[in-house]
Every structure is written in structure tokens, then in C-alpha cells.
Chain A
Amino acid sequence: MVWDFKLFHITHSRYLLHDTGGADHPETPERLRVIASALAGLNGCCRLLTVEPTPPEKEWLLTVHAAEYLLRFEEVALSGRSYLGHPDNQLCYESFEIAILATGAGLTGIDLLEKEAGSRVFCSVRPPGHHAEKTVALGFCFFNNVAIAARYWQIKYARRRIAIIDFDAHHGNGIQSTFEEDPDVLYVSTHEHPTFSFPGTGYAEEIGTGAGEGTILNIPLLPGAGDAEVKNAFVEQIIPAVEKFRPEALIIAAGFDGHQLDDMSGLLFSTELYGYLGRKIAALGDRLCEGRVISILEGGYHLPSLGASVKEYCRGIMERRK
């Protein structure tokens, strides 16, 4: 079966140049190579269009991050040091500029969606973003790609109410801390339970604060949880929460490290689960926000299952459910 609408795959060859030092660092350029070749296998069943992002203006980074953090990051990268803050956050001379370009993928994707309603967007970026906070690099993340995309959508296109769904195996502490007092952004995350999982946040009791109380939904899963637990969370909690919130756009923090072969978590998701998530998310986006859904890569480190899972997810989001 051939679908007549487009899948924009937003990525850039410069993303491969973000050097995390080799050794056993799992966040490697190879991740994007396996995704690109897996998605090439989708051609024939949809129009796969690879698009390069435009580098964003720095003002968009400043909607989430502090100016002094940008200066510090740039200085560390250009001075030739090998990491920012914690040895996990390995970088190279070009990393500052590449991390900016990574935030650009979401912005370019949003521009495309606003021009061509009905198309689908998947952004394959490095470095990932959901652990990065206003002034902190954490867990391989430097700039919070998803949070910046949300602010861009709000400011440039006046889509005020944004829902973010994060199915990475780890809690997106940076997305949560950006929006926990903001009633206009819903953040929903499934992740391995914070006791057993990096970074140790995302307890169900964290529900947002002040005006944002009730706009954070954390669904921790114990190690060993698999497809059944996630499907149940989607049907029982996530879909009703997003429907009730009535978003004007959906952003997906798409991490694939919950896969059973990925040892970055103790979750046991199958490849097929990501197809299920793609279908559910696309249907939700079509029903609530005229298809304004953008997915941005977070984690996923076991290369064969990363490629297969992203392909399955994209196949899922291309299957339109009327």
C-alpha cells in the first residue's frame, strides 16, 4: 500500500560530527546512520523527503536556556575540553554549533507542518535534549530540543497549548523543569522508575507546581515492564489526559531505549510497540490538532533495534486512522 502524503525526515550530516569521545560512550554518530538507512526502507510505502534544518536564531535557544549557559557551553567546546559539567556530556570543538543545529530540526519541522498540513515529521538529531535544563547539561543533552520547539510553536505560530509526550526510557527532567509552572504546556512521560533509572526524577507525585499544577503526568514503569504496561498507560492515562488538555499541537520526545535489547534501561519493549505508539500518536494528533505532530529523537542506543524501532514508529505515524 502506498500512502500519498509525505514523511519529512529532518536531519543533517553535521550531526554526525558531534564527537562523544569513542570508548564506550553509547551516544554515537552511528545511531543516525542506522536510522537513515532504516527509513530508506520505508520509501515505496510513502514519500520520504529528507530535509536539512535551518540553523535557528539564538533568541530561540534563549526561550529555554540562560545566556550565560550558552556562553559557558561555547567556551568549553571551543577551548578543546572534552566534556561539559559531567564526563557523560562528551563534546568536541564543533559541538556547540551542532547542538544549535539540532534545535533547528524541530523549528524547521514546525515550519513545514504549518505550510503543509497533513504531512508527518520525524527529526533525527544529535545531541539529544530532554535531560538538558536551563543552565545544566545532563545525560548527553546540551540544549532541550523539544522544549525549544514548544516555545517556537507558541511564539511564532500562536499555538498556545502544546502537549508533549515523552516515551524515552528515561524521564525528561529538562522538559519537566521548563514547563512545570506553565499551565499551557502538558508534559506526559512514561519512563523506567526513577529509583532504578537515570536521572532519578519523574515520580508520579510530580504533577507540576503553581499555575502548572496538573499539567505534568509521570508514569514510571518498573524494570521488566513491557508492551502491555505501556499500552495500558496510553489507553488509560495518556490519551485521556491529552484529550482533556485540548492541545493545538503535539510534540513527541521519541526515545527508543526502552527496547528489550537496549541495556540503557531495564524496560522490555518490542519493536512492534513503537508501531503501536506511532499509530496512537498520529490518530491523537489528527483528532485533536489537525495533524500538527512533530517527533524529535531522544535516546535509543542499541543500533539494530534503534533502526528497526524508528522505522516501525514512522510506519505507525504514516498509517492514518480516520
Chain B
Amino acid sequence: MFVTNFMTEPVHTVGPEASLSQVKELFGQRKFRHLPIVDQSGRLIGMLTDRDLRSAYPSGLMDENEKKAYLKRFKEMKVSQIMTETVAKLTPKSTLDDALLLFDRSRVGALPVVDDQQKVVGIFSIRDLLAAYKQLFGLGEKGSALIVVQDDGKPRPLTRLTEALENRNVLFSQLIRDVLSRPDNGLGLIYVRVHTHNLSGVHAALAAAGFYAVTPEAS
């Protein structure tokens, strides 16, 4: 569940004195769009995105003379002039959930991961988050199905449900009890992703434990 298992490392960084044309070349060669800016000891001081760079680049609407003058200025500009200094960041102890909430709040596409000394140890993008949850939710490989059952309102529903599956050696990955969005009857839904084709056996095991699958319409 920690971002360190899914982040990109080592990460490419540049110093604040790097020129924008250097950075433009770098974005062109590599496949990333977020660049941490670090001081001489590798400590994070800002972030630069391809969007920042595009905004700084001369507009196609400018007339030729204006464009030339602007381009000359652009080539002399340094990263420190356009980077974002106050950046949201993760640490090696951050969880995927921390990252999700931070992405939601900060509205950026990638977050730097820094250690106690603020040194950049990796970068974690929204795509990395998707890949991480895809893996953790058991979505990566062929051979699974999502079963949705209604909480029966009796004690210890998850214990009974997992016991029913494990007693029959059914491998399962995600198990989610939706406690927030409850339908009118006040009972929530439970989602479990089982990794077997014997869904008949799974349904029988769940029914014996008091759980019945619900269809998307009913849920």
C-alpha cells in the first residue's frame, strides 16, 4: 500500500539554473511531463511541468517580430523563473490512499517523493496510482469476477463471508464493504473479487453463509 512500491525511480531532476531550452529538449527526449527541481544537494525546491513550459513558450498567435524577441528571451530564461515553488509532495511512508487524497486536493498529475532531508527519491504519477490499485484490486490478470452481495445485517458479516470463501479455497483479492452509500433498507453492499471460474461453487458457499448476489439494477 506504500507509494515506494509503485513510484518511478531513479527520477530525472535539474537545478534551478538550467535553461528552459535545456528542459524543453529533455521533455522532448523523455516520456515524462513532470520534472522535480533540486538544489546542489538534491533537495526539492520546485516542480516544472510540460504545461508550465508550454505557457512560457511563444504563442503561435504572435507576429514574427514579437515571436523572435520572445524566443530570444525564452532561451535565456531559467527554470527558477517559472517553476512552482510550493509543491505538494509524498514521503516514502505515504500510502496509496495518501497519494489519492493529495492528487484530489492538489490537482496535479504527479507528485515528488522526498525523504526526511527533502531529497527527491522518486516521482509518483496518477498513472502509477491507477497501476497500483489495478494490481491491488486483482484487476491485472485474466481469471476473476466481481461478486456483489448484500450485507445481511447479522453480526460479523466479513468474518462469515471470508470464512465461507477460504473454507473452499477460493482465492480472492479485493474485499470492500461499502459503509457510506447505503440503500433505503440501511444495509450496505459487500464487493469481493474472486479468482475462479467456479462461480457456482462460490455462490453456493456464500448462500450457505447467508449472502446472496445482487444485480447492478438491484444495487
Provide 25 A-B residue pairs closer than 8 Å at the C-beta atoms, listed in order of the A residue. Answer: A24-B204, A25-B198, A26-B200, A26-B201, A87-B196, A88-B198, A139-B143, A140-B197, A173-B142, A195-B146, A196-B145, A197-B145, A198-B143, A198-B197, A199-B142, A199-B143, A199-B197, A200-B139, A200-B142, A201-B142, A222-B217, A223-B216, A224-B216, A262-B200, A265-B199
Residues of B within 8 A of A (CB): 139, 142-148, 168-169, 195-201, 203-204, 213, 215-217
* Distance in angstroms between the alpha carbons of A243 and B139 in the assembled complex: 35
Residue A263 interfacial (CB < 8 Å): yes
Q: Are B216 and A222 in contact (CB under 8 A)?
A: yes
> Given A224-B217, A263-B203, A266-B215, does the pair A24, B198 have CB atoms closer than 8 Å?
yes
Residue A125 interfacial (CB < 8 Å): no
Q: Are A199 and B144 in contact (CB under 8 A)?
A: yes
> Given A224-B216, A266-B215, does the pair A25, B201 have CB atoms closer than 8 Å?
yes
Contacts A23-B201, A199-B143, A263-B204 supplied; 13 other A-B pairs, CB < 8 Å: A24-B168, A87-B169, A88-B143, A138-B142, A198-B145, A199-B197, A200-B145, A262-B200, A263-B200, A263-B203, A264-B200, A265-B199, A301-B200
Q: Are A200 and B143 in contact (CB under 8 A)?
A: yes
Q: Are A24 and B143 in contact (CB under 8 A)?
A: no
The minimal Cβ–Cβ distance linking B56 to chain A, given in whole angstroms, is 37
Residues of chain A within 8 A of B199, CB atoms compared: 198, 263-265
Q: Are A198 and B204 in contact (CB under 8 A)?
A: no
Residues of chain A within 8 A of B201, CB atoms compared: 23-26
Residue A279 interfacial (CB < 8 Å): no
The minimal Cβ–Cβ distance linking A137 to chain B, given in whole angstroms, is 11
Residue A131 interfacial (CB < 8 Å): yes
Q: Chain B's interface: helix, strand, loop or mixed, by majority?
A: loop
Residues of A within 8 A of B (CB): 23-26, 86-88, 131, 138-140, 170, 173, 195-201, 222-224, 262-266, 301
Tally inter-chain residue pairs, CB-CB below 8 A.
Answer: 73
Q: Are B215 and A139 in contact (CB under 8 A)?
A: no
The minimal Cβ–Cβ distance linking A165 to chain B, given in whole angstroms, is 21
Residues of chain A within 8 A of B215, CB atoms compared: 222-224, 266
* Distance in angstroms between the alpha carbons of A120 and B19 in the assembled complex: 74
The minimal Cβ–Cβ distance linking A178 to chain B, given in whole angstroms, is 14
Residues of chain A within 8 A of B144, CB atoms compared: 198-200
Most B-side CB within 10 Å, residue of A25, A140, A266: A266
* Distance in angstroms between the alpha carbons of A262 and B198 in the assembled complex: 12
Q: Are B196 and A88 in contact (CB under 8 A)?
A: yes
The minimal Cβ–Cβ distance linking A141 to chain B, given in whole angstroms, is 9
Residues of chain A within 8 A of B142, CB atoms compared: 138, 173, 199-201
* Distance in angstroms between the alpha carbons of A173 and B143 in the assembled complex: 10
The minimal Cβ–Cβ distance linking A79 to chain B, given in whole angstroms, is 21
User: Smallest CB-CB separation from B203: which chain A residue?
Assistant: A263
> Given A24-B200, A224-B215, does the pair A196, B143 have CB atoms closer than 8 Å?
no
* Distance in angstroms between the alpha carbons of A25 and B202 in the assembled complex: 11
Residues of chain B within 8 A of A262, CB atoms compared: 200
The minimal Cβ–Cβ distance linking A194 to chain B, given in whole angstroms, is 8
Nearest 8 CB-CB pairs, A to B? Answer: A139-B197, A24-B201, A224-B215, A199-B142, A223-B215, A198-B145, A198-B197, A26-B200
